[in-house]
Chains A and B, each alone.
Chain A
């Protein structure tokens, strides 16, 4: 089952969900809004094995994403849960401008808790601003025993490229 906004608020209060910083005004009927962190990782070159990224601070005037390539960003908030599974996506207001948030991997595993890396792909050139309200995360009940697997990315707070 998917948690309603009220259930998300209660779970934050009792520690079953961690959202930091939590703000009641960002609760939706069945999700919670998150904001974009201040630094993007921008594709620099391909080293023969993998893409190499360079960090770029988003200027106050906005950072222009070009279509046809992926950028990495992160959530301003720390988001996680030891009890629920998560799905992290963009807001409809952002999708309506043609911005992909998470290209296909929207699933957040139970027990992970960090600032999430965002995969950003623009269908049209679009400006991004640090701290903008960019996405939403929903929480889902589990069926079965929770047995965390060793995680690769769950400890990173900065935008992090693939570990190959």
Chain B
């Protein structure tokens, strides 16, 4: 079952869902709206080899906005830190974001129970799109699990800002 916005608000107050900072105005009917943090990550290599730790540059989105070129791929971050030890979060674009041709994730919308931190956004622009720090870009839903809960303790735990892939660790 998916939580309603009112239930997300209730669970935040009970400490069962962690959203920081939390603002009641960002509650929607079935989700919580997430804003874009100001850091952006761009891989330097033209070809991404999962076996290799990737070099990247990190920079801030200027207040006057940043144009993501058509076909470009960047990692962004939510301004909020999000997580729950009791519900499964799933990340989605705001429909207004998607209607501009911007993906906020390309495949991995499912978040592990027990993870907490800034969510890394996989920003893939199918059209030129301008982004601003603090814009309402994504939303998170919360889903009820069935079964004994074992909390996430993986490599992306406690993320601050966009986190590059660490898949190269699989190949060691």
- How close is B34's CB to chain A, nearest CB, in angstroms? 16
A97 touches B48 (CB 8 A): yes
* B47: A residues at CB distance < 8 A: 64, 124-127
| Complex Cα–Cα for A98 and B46 (A) | 12
B6-48 CB mask vs A (1 if < 8 Å, else 0) is 0000000000000000000000000000000000000100111
Please tell me if A115 contacts chain B, counting CB pairs below 8 Å: no
Q: Which residue of chain A is the closest to B148 with respect to CB atoms?
A: A6
Pick from A96, A124, A129: contact of B163, CB below 8 A: A96
| Complex Cα–Cα for A83 and B166 (A) | 34
| Complex Cα–Cα for A42 and B70 (A) | 24
* A123: B residues at CB distance < 8 A: 71, 73, 106, 122, 124
A3 touches B145 (CB 8 A): yes
Please tell me if A155 contacts chain B, counting CB pairs below 8 Å: no
Within A12-29, which residues are at the interface with B (CB < 8 Å)?
Answer: 28-29
Q: Which residue of chain B is the closest to A98 with respect to CB atoms?
A: B73
A67 touches B71 (CB 8 A): yes
| Complex Cα–Cα for A67 and B143 (A) | 33
* B115: A residues at CB distance < 8 A: 29
Please tell me if A159 contacts chain B, counting CB pairs below 8 Å: no
Q: Which residue of chain A is the closest to B107 with respect to CB atoms?
A: A90
Choose the segment among A43-51, A69-77, A133-141 that binds chain B (4+ C-beta atoms closer than 8 Å): A133-141
B107 touches A99 (CB 8 A): yes
Residue of B43, B47, B105, B106 most packed against chain A (CB within 10 A): B106
B109 touches A89 (CB 8 A): yes
Pick from A6, A10, A64, A133: contact of B149, CB below 8 A: A6
Please tell me if B151 contacts chain A, counting CB pairs below 8 Å: yes
Please tell me if B58 contacts chain A, counting CB pairs below 8 Å: no
- How close is A153's CB to chain B, nearest CB, in angstroms? 19
* A62: B residues at CB distance < 8 A: 49, 51
Given contacts A4-B146, A90-B106, A101-B107, 18 further A-B contacts (CB under 8 A): A3-B147, A5-B147, A7-B148, A8-B147, A29-B112, A29-B115, A29-B150, A62-B49, A89-B110, A91-B108, A92-B156, A95-B105, A95-B106, A96-B108, A123-B106, A127-B50, A127-B51, A129-B171
Mark A residues whose CB is within 8 Å of B: 1-8, 10, 28-31, 62, 64, 67-68, 87, 89-102, 121, 123-129, 132-133, 135-136, 138, 141
Give 7 CB contacts A-B under 8 Å. A6-B149, A29-B149, A89-B109, A95-B108, A96-B163, A123-B124, A125-B47
